[in-house]
Amino acid sequence: MPDSLSIKDNRTGKSYEIPIQDDAIRAMDLRQIKTSDSDFGLLSYDPAFMNTASCRSSITYIDGDRGILRYRGYPIEELAEKCNYLEVAYLLVHGELPSKNQYEEWKHNVTYHTMVHENVKKFLEEFRYDAHPMGMLVSAVAALSTFYPDAKHFSDENSRRLQIHRLIGKTPTIAAFAYRHSMGMAYVYPDNDLDYAENFLTMMYKPPASSTFEANPVLAKALDVLFVLHADHEQNASTSAMRSVGSTHADPYSCAAAAAAALYGPLHGGANEEVLRMLEEIGSKDKVPEIIRQVKDKKRLLMGFGHRVYKNYDPRAQIIKRIADQVFEVTGRNKLLDIALELEKVALSDDYFISKHLYPNVDFYSGLIYQAMGFPTDIFPVLFAIPRMSGWLAQWQEMLLDPEQKISRPRQIYTGYPERHIPAQT
Ligand code: SDX
């Protein structure tokens, strides 16, 4: 049997053979289905892109029914156990895990670009004392485009590579500066002798007067694993923003700022912050039944639950839950954990949640770990953006090199007025 659809247009009686490739049809093949020569042809209508593949990609594979997540073919469980974040960032961007020499060169190049221009510091200092750090990050990443006009040469591989090093290197620095700004503390510059997560924790927490601060190695390792888990996730909303803005040939800093802005939303990367606020609002295990009732009455969402793709469980959530135990051994048990565990237990046994495939996602437990590690709640989405930068950049580069891609410009179904005219002046 041929890999095709046989479509009969009952409006005209005409039949069409639409080829099927990779379990998909090309939406453009529908345009031949017309009622007359002047007819535009059929569109596919797919609000929120529930069933639309926007690209071909070899970066990340997700099987939502079986809870599978792989970066470049490697299972997330193996990467979380055997690789550090910079190795995974290399894998996402280059397609293979780095050799020892490749890793050393990559680490040097990223580390070499952790500093930001002093004017970026001044730019951040102008924000209100209570500015949300994600708003500061989005703004500062966009501002970087004004410091590196050479980034417009995206078709030059060396230029792309330099911007990728700069963005992966500078994002933690900007994030830490935004935190220090919110605390009214002097900024701590990167220490390039430290590993990626360790350097970030040091810029965050090193007391200004201290010269001997050392990030807790258990917490640094836990954060590095969390960075691995958050590095990419195929065509999520923020990655789609990165690709869409990149398709106009905007510079990668402007693309990354758009992606970070998309991630900021509470339905996406902002969910980890909302989970903590929800758990703090619940306050105790005995309030859980009331929250469940409100969710079932559709008065609120259960933040940290549900996913567009995962319909049984988010494999990242399971790994994060294991990391939580290691972190709490160092920091002491987070009292909100008991509420989270009770929420999960009740939800997973309730048919309302089971029937809607609502399970804990990556954001449900990560916030508990971040809070236990001393991060303020509003910086949680920033902790998502830091590692996702490498995924965004890998996807951006893949889009630019894909001969099938061009400027992203969806169509619409017009539902407005037919032509009408401004009434003559009376
Ligand atoms: C991330 O796409 C990615 O890959 C994202 C991400 C990544 O790594 O990039 O995985 C990161 O963003 C994780 C998701 C974090 N967001 C949250 O935890 C916010 C709470 N979750 C929901 O907003 C929701 O589940 C989404 C946004 C995650 C998914 O939304 P969908 O796929 O569009 O599902 P839907 O809104 O169509 O919901 C289907 C049904 C609806 O009920 P009915 O209208 O059918 O009666 O499930 C209900 C929804 O009301 N529902 C929820 C719910 N999520 C969905 N009800 C209560 N609580 C929830 N959390």
- The CATH number linked to 317 is 1.10.230.10
Tens of pLDDT, residues 231-244: 999 999 999 999 99
User: Domain for residue 73, yes or no?
Assistant: no
Distance CA 169, CA 27 (A): 39
Above pLDDT 70, what percent of the chain? 100
Dihedrals φ, ψ of 390, to 5°? -70, -35
Cα 307 to ligand 1 centre (Å): 5
CA gyration radius, the chain? 24
Tens of pLDDT, residues 349-399: 999 999 999 999 999 999 999 999 999 999 999 999 999 999 999 999 999
Specify the pLDDT at position 376.
94
Provide the whole-model pTM: 0.96
- The CATH number linked to 171 is 1.10.580.10
Specify the pLDDT at position 288.
94
Specify the pLDDT at position 43.
97
pLDDT at 426 over 80: no
Q: Are residues 89 and 31 in the same domain?
A: no
What residue owns the CA closest to ligand 1's atom 2?
A: 236
Specify the pLDDT at position 281.
95
Q: Where are the beta strands (DSSP E) in 95-249?
A: none
Residue among 50, 275, 301, 368 whose CB has most ligand 1 atoms within 8 A, to mutate:
301
Nearest ligand 1 atom to alpha carbon 306: 25
Domain of 160, in residue numbers: 80-263+380-401
Which candidate in 113, 307, 314, 378 is catalytic? 307
pLDDT at 8 over 90: yes
H-helix or E-strand containing 271? Answer: helix 271-282
Cα 163 to ligand 1 centre (Å): 33
Confidence of residue 284 (pLDDT cuts 50, 70, 90): very high
Nearest ligand 1 atom to alpha carbon 362: 13
Catalytic residue at 268?
Answer: yes
- Ligand 1: lining residues by beta carbon, under 6 Å: 233, 236, 267-269, 271, 295, 301-309, 356, 358, 361-363
Q: Are residues 31 and 92 in the same domain?
A: no
Residue 58: CB atoms within 10 Å = 10
Cα 267 to ligand 1 centre (Å): 7
Specify the pLDDT at position 411.
97
Q: Where are the beta strands (DSSP E) in 14-67?
A: 14-19, 60-63
Tens of pLDDT, residues 188-229: 999 999 999 999 999 999 998 877 899 999 999 999 999 999
User: Domain for residue 247, yes or no?
Assistant: yes
Nearest ligand 1 atom to alpha carbon 234: 4
Cα 49 to ligand 1 centre (Å): 14
Q: Give start and end residues of each alpha helix (H) in 10-117.
A: 76-82, 85-94, 100-112
Q: Are residues 388 and 360 in the same domain?
A: no
